């Protein structure tokens, strides 16, 4: 089997989060974007970051 020469920079995942707790670890624009999406679900959202933005 040939070896792949490039590596993935992102790993997309789709999960059912209804009634689940979701933690985002880290801050920055990417974490904020994920938090905004998860906030639209029924999941309980927890953000763990050294410098979390109030948004």
What is the per-residue pLDDT for 55?
65
**Whose CA is closest to 45, among 26, 10, 17, 11?**
17
How far is 47 from 31, CA to CA, in rounded Å? 9
What is the per-residue pLDDT for 21?
97
Work out the number of other CB atoms within 10 angstroms of the CB of residue 35: 19
What is the per-residue pLDDT for 49?
92
What is the per-residue pLDDT for 1?
59
Question: For every one of its 55 residues, what pLDDT tens digit does the chain have, with 9 covering 90 and above?
Answer: 566 668 878 888 899 999 999 999 999 988 999 999 999 999 999 999 998 666 6
What is the per-residue pLDDT for 7?
84
């Amino acid at each position: 089997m040939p070896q792949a020469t490039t590596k993935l920079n992102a790993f997309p995942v789709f999960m059912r989060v209804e009634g689940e707790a979701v933690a985002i670890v880290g801050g920055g624009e990417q974490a904020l974007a994920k938090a905004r999406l998860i906030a639209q679900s029924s999941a309980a959202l927890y953000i763990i970051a050294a410098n979390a933005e109030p948004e």
